[in-house]
Amino acid sequence: MSDYFDLAIAEMKRVHDKKKADYSDPSDAFSNFRLAGDFADVSTPLTFEVLLGVKQARLNNLRESENSPLNESILDTLLDRANYATLAYAYALAQQEKK
């Protein structure tokens, strides 16, 4: 199991780093989530929860469908969900450090 866990963590980091380069301001790793929260008039922590909810809904739909996904596989969705949860944790750590 450990080997698969290590592979999963390495893939999470690889995907995170690629998306971070596209989505966030280099001076603020959480800028994309802050801005999304501002647009939706919700807090940054709630933004993470909403994104996790969207991924969970997608996962449920993929698992219930008899069709193969056209774009994002179940593994991709699980990976995104894991990254959003990890980002939420990292954000909470950053906020705690500010106190």
Q: Strand, coil or helix: what is 27?
A: coil
**Token pair for residue 47?**
């933004």
User: Which residue has tokens 């959480």?
Assistant: 30
pLDDT tens, N- to C-terminus, the chain (99 residues): 679 999 999 999 999 999 998 988 889 989 999 999 999 999 999 999 999 999 999 999 999 998 888 889 999 999 999 999 999 999 999 999 988
Which ranges of the chain would DSSP assign to H, the alpha helix?
2-23, 31-40, 44-64, 74-98
Q: Which residues contact 25 (CB under 8 A, 6 or more apart)?
A: 31, 32
Backbone φ, ψ for residue 25 (5° rounding): -70, 130
Q: For residue 19, give the nearest of 60, 79, 71 by alpha carbon.
A: 79
How many other CB atoms are found less than 10 A from the CB of residue 26?
Answer: 8
